[in-house]
Amino acid sequence: MGSVCTASYIPQIGFVLSLPIKTSEEQPEVPDYDFVFESHDARHYKTETMRELDEKFGDVYVEILTRENATLLKLSEAILDKLPRLETALDLVSEVDCLMAMALVILENNWKKPEVVEDGPLEIVNGRHPLQERTINPFIPNDTSMGEEGGRVHLLSGPNSSGKSVYMKQVGLIVYLAHLGCWVPATSATIPLVDNIFTRIQTVESVAIGVSSFLCDVNQVSRAMSGGGRRSLFIIDEFGKGTLATDGTALLLGLVSTLANRGHEAPLALLSTHYHQVPKLLPETGVLRYKKMETEGKSGDIVFLFKIVPGIVDNSGALDILDKAGIPDSVTNRAHQVISCIREGKEIPIAEDIPDISQVHNQVSIFLDLKLEDLEDMQDEQRKADRLNENLTKFLKGLCELENI
């Protein structure tokens, strides 16, 4: 044919002779060439020479796969035979990697070696949150003293955004790191061995589990109360906030009372709350201590110092947060007025833009007494109805504002 041809190997088919297709015209049959198939640019044939190659080399691809599988099988058997040693080596390598990572973090962040004891008080000097301190400069450290003279149950109060949750988390993390054998972010620390760390910090909500956020909180506290003992650590942040304030106060009061009544068998428990009336309802006990986040300034100009000190806070500082968040003055002014009346035991006045209720009653009565069949008075009654609608709108608007407060 005078065309350049090539010999090719194709799995499952073997060796073939490939002749290029130069035109779109029908290709003539070639003597002693057995046609096999045609591709887009060549026709492939079996010849005597190709069959000899098949006999000599066989199906090379299948042979390669067979030998490859046999090699992998032998390798798998060898690995399984040495599996215990390999697992031990991997465990040692991972442990070394973990220790090196810990050592690097310790050196970079000036962590100190804690003293882990069998039993005794939890003492932390200048404790820091290992992550929060990397994002805030300067980070304000805090001391922690729980157990024996320091009290086993601490009730922490403080304004919103004053650092309560960060402090509680840092205590839990320091205790956890010490149990890992790691140094801790503190000047010094004495950590007693604990059997469990129970937390109610983050509410795990999901449509799939079919429970409310409040029920999730209750379940977390329930597991802590049923599974925790003297050797346990409780970190409970604002328990009871997901329901009515009176019910939440009662739940927190019952929880703190139960823990305090255990005396020296109580777990090391750190609780925070905005229910400032709870301390007034709790009995005096040697295991309960009150702590607060220190602030300076008066309402409207509070400065957070982020330091833990003994005491009780009676103001959540929520209105100061409203002011800083840009809430309209009409809302914050009304909120200040209502809170002031509640604290002084005075009656909460109706907002000035809400009409007198007696006038509203009169207008409603007029509207209900309308005689629509009297067409001559319809225009006058329409004006009365418009005034009634205006007054009702103001009244409802004022009620909504009061309800939001």
> How many Cβ atoms sit within 10 Å of the Cβ of residue 184?
25
**259 and 178 part of one domain:** yes
- Does residue 386 register a pLDDT over 70? yes
| Residue 1 covered by a domain | no
Question: Locate tokens 């026709």: which residue?
Answer: 43
Contact (Cβ atoms closer than 8 angstroms) between residue 199 and residue 171: no
**305 and 334 part of one domain:** no
pLDDT tens digits, residue range 193-249? 999 999 998 777 666 667 778 888 888 899 999 999 999 999 999 888 878 888 888
Position 401 scores a pLDDT of 63
Q: Which among 349, 373, 394 is the end of a domain? A: 349
**234 and 310 part of one domain:** yes
Question: Which of the two residues, 36 and 351, has the higher pLDDT score?
Answer: 36
Number of domains present in the structure of the chain: 5
pLDDT tens digits, residue range 92-107? 999 999 999 999 999 9
| Residue 152 covered by a domain | yes
pLDDT-above-90 percentage for the chain: 38
Phi/psi of residue 346, each to 5°? -95, 160
- Give the 3-state secondary structure percentages of the chain, helix then strand then coil, rounded to 5: 45, 20, 35
pLDDT tens digits, residue range 23-76? 555 666 778 888 888 887 888 888 888 888 888 887 777 788 889 999 999 999
Q: Is 181 helix (H, G, I), strand (E, B) or coil?
A: coil
Position 44 scores a pLDDT of 87
**334 and 366 part of one domain:** no
- Does residue 1 register a pLDDT over 70? no
CA distance 268 to 198: 10
Q: Which of 18-22, 129-133, 265-269, 308-312 has the lowest mean pLDDT?
A: 18-22
Q: How confident is the model at residue 313 (pLDDT cuts 50, 70, 90)?
A: confident
- Note down the domain range covering 54: 6-61
DSSP secondary structure letter of residue 276: T
Position 74 scores a pLDDT of 92
**148 and 297 part of one domain:** yes
CA distance 263 to 269: 12
| Structure tokens that stand for 255 in this block | 């929880």
Return contacts of 158-161, CB within 8 angstroms, 24+ apart: 158/272, 158/292, 158/293, 158/295, 158/313, 159/293, 159/295, 159/302, 159/304, 159/313, 159/315, 159/316, 159/317, 159/318, 159/320, 160/274, 160/316, 160/317, 160/318, 160/321, 161/304, 161/317, 161/321
**219 and 121 part of one domain:** yes
pLDDT tens digits, residue range 156-170? 988 878 889 999 999
- What's the pTM? 0.65
Question: Which of the two residues, 3 and 234, has the higher pLDDT score?
Answer: 234
Question: Locate tokens 């069998």: which residue?
Answer: 118
**Strand-pair partners of 15:** 9
**33 and 71 part of one domain:** no
| Structure tokens that stand for 298 in this block | 């008066």
Rg (CA), the chain: 40
pLDDT-above-70 percentage for the chain: 84
